[in-house]
Amino acid sequence: MSRPPPPVPPGPDAVTLPPGVGLPPGVSPLGHLRSVVERLRGDWNGKRPLILSHRTPDPDALAAMFGLEVLLRRDLGLEPEIAASGRISRAENVAMLRELELSYVDAERLDRSRYSAVFLVDTQPGFGHTTLPPELPVVAVFDHHRPPDVAALAGKPLPPHYDLRLEAGATSALMFGYLREAKIELDQRTATLLCCGVRFDTLDLALSATKLDSEAFYETFRRSDHAKLARIQRPSLPPTYYRDLYRSLSRARMYGAVVLGFLGRVTSAESVAEMADFFRRMEPCRWSLVGGAVGQTYHLSLRTEGREAYPLLQHVLGADGSFGGRGSVAGGQVRLATDEWDELARLERRLRGRALELIPAGERTGRRGVRLTQIP
């Protein structure tokens, strides 16, 4: 019955980028960005560019958006507008918005005719969790995730500035590099926000951090508001947090060194990611997978220890949805056709079935796994 797990590919540097993805070797990232903007801005008729990221931006995406805003204003004389969609509800991320007074416009209610072009951070065109205004060209991408299949681009031209660095721990660190190259001195707010971005994606440099990530972390930490950093890292929590935690704990099952949690309906996509992180820390967990539906989108988060998350989620999703990832982290979405409980239950059964195929039969403790209250 059980299929062997798909082979784990070598590290991210072994993934070859398609032509046109990633900057040409040896080029200065800032120099390249400046030349692309200078070449195109004549066609913008004074309209403002938009800075976008994926839905429900996480700290790295938020920090990269607001860091890019500083760069575009101060180095390129542009007046960008930041827009985002998806309600942010993870307590740390809400605290980041509040403490650093970050505000942006709703990407779903934009008058698109007022804007010239899109600058995209921490994601790429073609990703399922990223909606782009079809009439606006994407002129620049700043990211560190594996690129999507060429088919996902549906024949659209590649952005002329496509800065993709798979080895980078955080997009915020890339942004720090641009600001440093532009000799822009970091004010306390920008430093604090970039520090939040780098520490979130690299777990304080513990995960796949490069020299640039370390330099970004130390330099921004030195200039940060440390009281704000502390309030962002350990925010107060609403009662619903404990309700959702209880629900996740009661639904999760252990299968040897794997924890699976299919939660049915959840209040936010972020709680899915948060629970996947939380379960991954259980000994001797080697990977965790948590899923839950918000509206008509089913969200999945997969976390691993010491192996690539991407091929595991690829197998679990099968043909059901879209996904992306890097290193030990992967996330995916499945569109639900209806609001009905039946459809959701069937999807969760399929996902569980495919996840179980990845666990060697001898380690699985049956199809139903072990409830956390049954742990001896």
List of residues contacting Mn ion (CB under 5 A): 60, 122, 171, 201
State which residue has the least CB distance to Mn ion: 60
Q: Compute the least distance from the CB of residue 201 to Mn ion, in Å.
A: 4
Q: Which is nearer to Mn ion, 60 or 308 (CB)?
A: 60
Q: Compute the least distance from the CB of residue 91 to Mn ion, in Å.
A: 19
Q: Compute the least distance from the CB of residue 248 to Mn ion, in Å.
A: 24
Pairing of the two strands 105-106 and 115-121? unpaired
Q: Which is nearer to Mn ion, 122 or 219 (CB)?
A: 122
What is the number of other CB atoms lying within 10 angstroms of the CB of residue 134? 7
Q: Compute the least distance from the CB of residue 197 to Mn ion, in Å.
A: 7
DSSP string, 48-73: EEEEE-SSS--HHHHHHHHHHHHHHH
Q: Which is nearer to Mn ion, 67 or 369 (CB)?
A: 67
Q: Which is nearer to Mn ion, 53 or 116 (CB)?
A: 53
Q: Compute the least distance from the CB of residue 79 to Mn ion, in Å.
A: 25
Residues 6+ apart with CB under 8 A from 76: 33, 34, 37
CB 316 within 8 A of CB 288: no
Q: Using CA atoms, how far apart are residues 52 and 85, in angstroms rounded to an integer? A: 9
Q: φ and ψ at 214, to 5 degrees?
A: -65, -45
Q: What are the tokens at 226?
A: 């440390």
Q: Which is nearer to Mn ion, 60 or 270 (CB)?
A: 60
List, in sequence order, every residue forming a beta bridge with 304; answer none if it has no partner: 287
